[in-house]
Every structure is written in structure tokens, then in C-alpha cells.
Amino acid sequence: MSGSKCTRLGGPLVKQVLESVDSVLFDCDGVIWRGDQAIPGAAQVINLLKENGKKVFFVTNNSTKTRKMYADKMNTLGFDATEEEVFGTAYCSAMYLKTVCKVEGKVYLVGSNAMKQELEAVGIQQTGVGPDLISGKQLDWANVPLDADVKAVVVGFDEHFSYMKLNRALQYLSQPGCLFVGTNRDTRLPLEGGKAVPGTGCLLKAVETAAQRQAETVGKPNHFMFDCVASQYGIDPNRCLMVGDRLDTDIMLGSNCGLKTLLTLTGVSTVADAEAHQKSGCAERQGMVPDYYVDSIADLLPALQG
């Protein structure tokens, strides 16, 4: 197999690479779908990988859905997937709080209803989900009523993010021993036509700035996402391929965990971005250089069909 990195994956090399792995981790947005539209051929690739005996998992930094919601979306789009194969940051953050932080008490959640459901599924109660409306009389910001059971602040994607939530998070984080966990640091969510909207990283930065503290983050590129999969399914990193569209999250996760890495060009990052990291000579940036790249994961189809 080629010794150099950032190699176009095509021809006989596809089969060789697929034969060298037992499991494949797929990022979701920009890899298997874009928004609500499946990438053409992606469902066939996933389904054929499974028919060929590969274990397939989905690792997404998007905290707005439960495992069940992802599995339902995948099934609707023609993917053969179960909720046990989905590792999103809503679920993984709940696992992190339970198994790593061993949090006892409630969580102040700046996040989605899906996060609330995943927290509750592992026995962690939350306060904070939904709009936190400022009452006309509430002007004593530093003395807002707090819940004495709260032992951690957790920040994910929250469409109801507000000054009041930011303030409440700061008040909790000023208490001794209060844990601080974020789902992920993606700063922008790219949309069709070159547009973008603010990602969870913006909300997390706001809370970190207010609290003058750094959160621990669960999502890619933190190895916890892979640890979750590996501990449940006994994955050998040497025989595992990470497929993603972002160099700073997906490819970095793969590098951090000793996986083979494949960049697909249907999302955020480009080959030029990867080459710039490679040529930089900066040791840290080498983790963002993928082993291989493809235009689309549909490029794997011929090797799976033949």
C-alpha cells in the first residue's frame, strides 16, 4: 500500500484498503447526507459494506438528535442502520457525564430536547431545556434563582440560546466543583450555496468567555467518540477506517485514535486544505492530513459490487 499520505483512492487500491479493515466509521453531514438529502450512492455503499461483513458506525457532532432519531432518518433515506450503530454527541455527552465525570446531581443544559432525552436515558436529570424568558421584573442578573442540585453545565446546539442562559451558565460555573462539558466546537454549519449558520462552537465560546473557564468537549476530534464505539464493539484501531469531510474534526479524530483516514470531498474540506497542512511542516497539522481521499463515498461502490 502507498506509503505517502493524501492519496486519491481509486482502482485496485479501494479493494486493498477495504480488505485491510473490519470496521468503518462514517461522519454524517457532508459524507452520507447533506441536510435532508442522501449523497447519491451512499446508502448502497453502507448497505454493501455490511453485506460484506464490515461493522459500520455513524459518528456525528450534531447534538440535535437522539440515536433513535438518527436511525429513523437513516432508514427513511434507505440506509440499513440501527440506533446502536449511531454515536452522536447527544448520546456520547450523556455517556461521558455518566461514565467519565460520574456526575451526581442535575445538569444545567444549554441544549436540545434530544440531549435532554439522552441524558434522561442514562439517569441524569436536567434543568434548562427550552426558552429561558426574561421576566420584566428580573433585573438582578447575578442573583437569578439557581437549582441547588446542579453539578454540571452542558452546552450543545441550542436554538433558544439567550443572554439569560449565558448568565445562568456563568452563575452555575462560578460555583465550586461545577463541571463544564461541551458537545463540540464546530464553529460554522455550512449550507448549500456557500451559506453558513453559527454552530455549537460559537455558543460554547460565549459560555467559556463569560465563565472564564475552558469546557471539556466530547465530540470529534476528542477520542471519546471512538472510545465509546471501541468499548462497546471491541474495535481494533489498526483495522478501522474513519471517513469524514472535515480535516479538523473527522480526520483529526482518526489520527488521534490511530485509524486509517479517508477524506470525502462532498462536504467542507478540500484536497488543497489537506495539502496545505501537509506542506506546512507543522507536526500538529499532520494529524489533519488524510491517508486517502475520494470525490464521494460513491467511489467505493465498484469495489463493493465487483
Per the annotation, the verdict on 80 as an active-site residue is no
Q: Between β-strands 240-244 and 196-198, what pairing exists: parallel, antiparallel or unpaired? A: unpaired
Query: What residues does 181 pair with on adjacent strands?
Result: 154, 216
Q: Is 245 marked as a binding-site residue?
A: yes
Q: Is 27 marked as a binding-site residue?
A: yes
- The contact pattern for ligand PLP, residues 35-74, with x = CB under 6 A and - = no contact, is -------------------------xxx-x----------
- The contact pattern for Ca ion, residues 30-59, with x = CB under 5 A and - = no contact, is x-----------------------------
Q: Is 22 marked as a binding-site residue?
A: no
- Interaction between residue 291 and ligand PLP (CB under 6 A): no
Closer to ligand PLP by CB, 178 or 243: give it: 243
Q: Residue 127 and residue 106: Cα distance in Å, rounded?
A: 7
Closer to Ca ion by CB, 29 or 291: give it: 29
Per the annotation, the verdict on 72 as an active-site residue is no
Q: List the interface residues with ligand PLP, window 149-188 (CB under 6 A).
A: 157, 186
- Interaction between residue 287 and ligand PLP (CB under 6 A): no
- Interaction between residue 299 and ligand PLP (CB under 6 A): no
- Interaction between residue 219 and Ca ion (CB under 5 A): no
**CA-wise closest residue to 54 among 86, 82, 16, 20:** 20
93 touches, from ligand PLP, Ca ion, none (C-beta below 5 to 8 Å by class)? none
* C-beta neighbour count of 279 within 10 angstroms: 10
Stretch that binds ligand PLP, among 25-33, 97-105, 223-231, 254-262 (CB under 6 A): 25-33
Residue whose beta carbon is closest to Ca ion? 30
199 touches, from ligand PLP, Ca ion, none (C-beta below 5 to 8 Å by class)? ligand PLP
Interacting residues with ligand PLP (CB under 6 A): 27-30, 60-62, 64, 157, 186, 189, 199-200
Give the annotated binding-site residues for substrate: 220
Interacting residues with Ca ion (CB under 5 A): 27, 29-30, 245
